[in-house]
Amino acid sequence: MKRLKNILLVFIFISITIESYSKDSIDYWLSLNSPTNQYLRCCSFIDSLRGWAGGDSGTVIHTSNGGLNWIFQPTPIPNEHINDIFFLNERLGWGLAWDITYDSNSYGTYILKTMDGGSNWDAMRYPVNDVFMNAIIFLDSLTGYMGGYPLTIMKTTDGGYNWFPCYIDTNSVVGHFPVNNFAFYSPRIAYASGGFIDIAGVIWTTTNYGQSWDAKAVGPEPVNGMFLFDSITVLGVGGDYEYGTGIVKTTNGGANWDYESLYIFGIAFSVAFRTKAEGWAPMGFAQEWIYTLDSGKTWLNIETPDSSRIYDVQFTDYRNGFAVGEDGAILKYNQEAINVPNNQNIIPTETKLYQNYPNPFNPSTVIEYSLPKSSYVILKVYDLLGRELMTLRNEVQKTGEYKINFTNSTLPSGVYFYKLYTKTLDSNNPKESVLTRKMVLIK
């Protein structure tokens, strides 16, 4: 009897712990008000404030204040579904949509482009029929790549007006597996992922600026999203309906891949890391996340807020993350969750200068930056002509995250720049960096 009582107490304790943990976990993400109930398939953010999401019925929505408000940006393809969207900066953006209208004599892909931040879009029909593009990415205003089905990796050097095929070595992989995603470490080194359910997951690698791509089968299920820790350490996510989520990893630039089935119901459709340790992958129809706190060694699953079906996720920095999905669902990472007990203190991995917020501002704004090592720091403000206006920091600071409240009521309205100069206090190998951001004062 005593043993039964003890077992019952342990069961109650575990149940309470799991329930409490589940409630705390959901607080990692918060639901935002959405202007649409369309299925949002993809999102692209250029910083913590400005982002776009695309989805069914040619839907594109835009925020300039971190997701608090969204506006519609009409596209010329209201009957097609946008599969991917990518913005290089506040002006230049591209999108992909499939032409599968029933009254069409041929099927294929529309390539969208905007040069004014999405206020106006041009739609160009990809000239080859029955090619369906899934992923698009640009490295600069001219150089871009897109991939899809049947096996296709295309490159442009004129901003997307003309595309030419890249060479793909398929000696180790049989079949025309679709490309689902790109991840670039540099213009020279990049990875693409894809595959077919129940047949193979495939990773393509390039080390020569995309001129040629080598294919390798990495597991039994397709790889939908990737994260690059460095040039040779890559993690991919995917899965299937029967065995659930699968994870693939390489630590030698793709020479070898390890595949692991998590046996968690659902398919991971994308992946993003808030820090090098904490990563998130949405499970779509399973209405859950999987997440890791140890760089992908182990994974846990939790429910999404409001049982949302989430398909795409992106972090702009360690504070700000966004995700989108069915029924117009938009989520934002809860910055308060950074302080939950499960997370260790964040040690920056690189020097960063974040976008000030709010921006535009009047008369106050916050400037933040991070230091991976103790450094000599200079932070200055300049006007549009490059004239130095004031020095905000000129001192030695330790490793960590720093925040400055900048207030100035004497400056006129206009565009200003703030520049961060750092030099690590390492006598053997000091490293210097100079980072600059733009801010706008409106009175």
| Strand, helix or coil for residue 374 | coil
Sign (positive or negative) of CA dihedral 39, 134, 227, 118 = negative
The confidence score (pLDDT) of residue 340 equals 41
Q: Are 54 and 23 in contact (CB under 8 A)?
A: no
CB proximity list for 374: less than 8 A, separation 6 or greater: 396, 397, 398, 399, 424, 425
**How many Å apart are CA 309 and CA 326, to the nearest integer?**
6
Closest CA to 302 of 291, 312, 293: 291
Q: What is the torsion angle, in degrees rounded to the nearest 10, for the CA atoms of residue 42, residue 280, residue 319 and residue 325?
A: 30
Residue 216, CB half-sphere, CA atoms under 13 Å: how many? Answer: 16
What is the chain's pLDDT, residue by residue, as a tens digit (443 residues)? 444 444 444 333 334 333 333 334 447 999 999 999 999 999 999 988 999 999 999 999 999 999 999 999 999 999 999 999 999 999 999 999 998 765 556 799 999 999 999 999 999 999 999 999 999 999 999 999 999 999 899 999 999 999 999 999 877 676 789 999 999 998 999 999 999 988 999 999 999 999 999 999 999 999 999 999 989 999 999 999 888 999 999 999 999 999 999 999 999 999 999 988 899 999 999 999 999 989 999 999 999 999 999 999 999 988 899 999 999 999 999 887 775 434 344 567 789 999 887 778 888 888 999 998 889 999 999 998 999 999 999 988 888 888 888 888 788 988 999 999 999 887 677 888 999 999 988 87
**Which domains are seen in the chain, by residue range?**
29-339 (2.130.10.10), 352-441 (2.60.40.2550)
Q: Which residues pair with 405 in a beta bridge?
A: 366
Distance of CA 125 to the CA centre of its chain: 27
Is the pTM of the predicted complex or chain greater than 0.85?
no
Here the tokens at position 284 are 């779509």
